[in-house]
Amino acid sequence: MGKRIYIIAGEASGDLHGGNLVRELVNVSKEWRVAGGESASAAPSAAEEAADSPLATHNSPLVIRAWGGERMAAAGAEVVKHYRELAFMGFTQVIMNLRTILRNIDTCKKDIEAFKPDALILIDYPGFNLRIAEWAHAKGIPVHYYISPQVWAWKKGRVHTIKKVVDRMYVILPFEKPWYAQYGMDVDFVGHPLLDAIEQEGRTPLTALPGDDGRPVVALLPGSRRQEIARMLPLMVQVAKRFPQQRFVLAAAPSVLPEVYAEGIGNAPITVVSGRTYDVLRTARAALVTSGTATLETALFGVPEAVCYSGSALNVWIAKRLVDIKFISLVNLIMDREVVRELIQSDLTVDSLSAELQRLLDDGPYRERMVGDLRDLQQRLGGPGASAKVASAVWKSMLGWS
């Protein structure tokens, strides 16, 4: 009898890691089918595999239903809600859209109940997913949480909820396992899934970016949410105008409409490239990056970067009273020291960002020291394989092997 898994990812990064996880779940289910002695004739044909989704055949031992995006759909999940409809950034945005969020939670619960999954996998996105976890646990649905909420940074009290309602937690940062142990919770450190995505990217040939003219590339990653882009892009545009000897390439998020970038850039000398963030980073000599997962992605490509953040006065006021961390970038948090410069709020100006970019490009010792630190960072995160480890653990749990 086939197994049924429900996955929830509420952001672009969750869709990326969810896509790799779905792919590994498909692989492990096929391995199980072969190991179980199923005949080759019972396996779905290529035509059957292509119908609707790679898993939508009566022969498949696995059906995956999900909230996510294009990457999860391409890997084989039936995506019933796109993350674009779920992404609300900051305290004020959440409050303003609370009715929509609560309606989405109710819709999700009903859909899970109708689907009757053997396992529920939640990917980060804690404000939404922890509510679903509590409900699912009460319903007797096994709850797997992949990519821990950042409870070590703020809302530490959530760890007690996690301990009660999450059957298995898979963490991706090395310091998270001992942190959870303080609360009597044994979690699985699986390594960082970005290493999977980057390894996969490294297998594909690098093709030239549009407008290549031989100048060194500076990557711009202004964020994946409209509110972030509206705050960060105008600063980055002003910086780009000061460096005519560099070519500025903006890595556009697929979930953001092109006109959002066009409005922010105007006639500035910036090339926009969509859907090729990793190609942009493979090409870049330096990068200006809005705080978030992109800071770690940039670091894992070995690209020296400056980290930028500017939020509304209310959001920052609230965050200062709730967040208990020394740094805002994952790079510095993992290394537990300042490896990359963080320019935050009043420290983030066109002059300060320009000065930091100049150092990244031309200050040899400064640049070399940062590149060396980024190599050390990769070592701390271990090798690729996070997605496969999680897929194997979930599959075994459904079979009652763990």
d(CA 76, CA 53): 5
At 152 the pLDDT is 85
Determine contact, residues 72/10, Cβ cutoff 8 Å: no
Note the pLDDT tens digit of each residue in 260-291.
999 999 999 999 999 899 999 999 999 999 98
Report residue 7 as tokens: 């996955």
Note the pLDDT tens digit of each residue in 225-264.
888 899 999 999 999 999 999 999 999 987 788 999 999 9
At 312 the pLDDT is 55
Q: Which helix (H) or strand (E) holds 247?
A: strand 247-252
Note the pLDDT tens digit of each residue in 140-173.
999 999 999 988 887 788 999 999 999 999 999 9
Q: Which one has a higher pLDDT value, 2 or 39?
A: 2
Domains of the chain and any CATH numbers: 3-191+385-398 (3.40.50.2000), 202-380 (3.40.50.2000)
The pLDDT > 70 percentage for the chain reads 86
d(CA 306, CA 215): 20
Residue tagged 């500076």 (tokens):
218
The pLDDT > 90 percentage for the chain reads 66
Q: What is the mean pLDDT of residues 112-119?
A: 97
User: DSSP 3-state assignment of 299?
Assistant: helix
Rounded to two decimals, what is the model's pTM? Answer: 0.77
d(CA 136, CA 141): 5
Please state which of the ranges 33-47, 64-78, 161-175, 226-240 shows the lowest mean pLDDT: 33-47
By C-alpha distance, which of 88, 138, 78, 87 is closest to 109? 138
Please state which of the ranges 83-87, 95-99, 292-296 shows the lowest mean pLDDT: 95-99
CA 356 and chain centroid, separation: 26
User: DSSP 3-state assignment of 117?
Assistant: coil
Report the chain's mean pLDDT, rounded to a whole number. Answer: 87
Q: What is the mean pLDDT of residues 176-202?
A: 91
d(CA 190, CA 173): 8
Q: CB-based contacts of 191: which residues, under 8 Å, 6+ apart?
A: 172, 381, 382, 383, 384, 385, 386, 389
Q: For the purposes of burial, counting CB atoms within 10 Å of the CB of 352, is it exposed (0-12), middle (13-18) or buried (19 or more)?
A: middle
Sign for the pseudo-dihedral over CA of 382, 385, 387, 391: negative
Please state which of the ranges 22-36, 71-85, 326-340 shows the lowest mean pLDDT: 22-36
C-alpha dist (Å) from residue 245 to 54, 214, 251? 47, 10, 19
Instruction: Supply the Cα-derived Rg of the chain in whole angstroms.
Output: 22
**Is residue 98's pLDDT more than 60?**
yes
**Is residue 43's pLDDT more than 60?**
no
Beta bridge partners of 120: 6, 143
